[in-house]
């Protein structure tokens, strides 16, 4: 199971990224534990200056942009 976090304060782009992650996992058949992180202190703890951000298994994979479903599927299916 991959641990995935979407970091953001609830903006439209943050919501879009969250939905894209859910769709990507479903389409790729990857089991994920998905969490939406809205607490600014937790977001800052990842060293992220811009949201939305995507964290997979504790590693920031993207910040300040919304990845496509295809891009997320690629991240989720790499190395496990």
Active-site pick, 9, 11, 34, 49: 11
Q: Is residue 71 part of a domain?
A: no
Tally of domains in the chain: 1
Which pLDDT value is given to residue 28? 97
Q: Is residue 14 part of a domain?
A: yes
Residue 15: inside a domain, yes or no? yes
We report the CATH number of the domain holding residue 21 as 3.40.30.10
The predicted pLDDT at position 21 comes to: 99
- Return per-residue pLDDT of the chain as tens, 80 residues: 999 999 999 899 999 999 999 999 999 999 999 999 999 999 999 999 999 999 999 999 999 999 999 999 999 998 64
Domain range spanning residue 24?
2-64
11 is catalytic: yes
Task: Out of 7, 14, 48, 72, pick the active-site residue.
Answer: 14
Is position 23 annotated as part of the catalytic site? Answer: no
pLDDT value at position 23? Answer: 99
C-alpha distances out from residue 58 to 3, 28, 46, 61, 64, Å = 7, 20, 9, 9, 17
Please give the pLDDT value at position 13: 97
């Amino acid at each position: 199971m991959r641990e995935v976090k979407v970091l953001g304060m609830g903006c439209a782009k943050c919501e879009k990224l969250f939905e894209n992650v859910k769709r990507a996992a479903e389409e790729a058949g990857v089991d994920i534990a998905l969490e939406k992180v809205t607490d600014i202190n937790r977001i800052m703890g990842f060293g992220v200056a811009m949201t939305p951000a995507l964290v997979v298994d504790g590693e920031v994979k993207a910040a300040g942009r919304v990845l496509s479903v295809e891009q997320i599927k690629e991240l989720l299916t790499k190395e496990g």
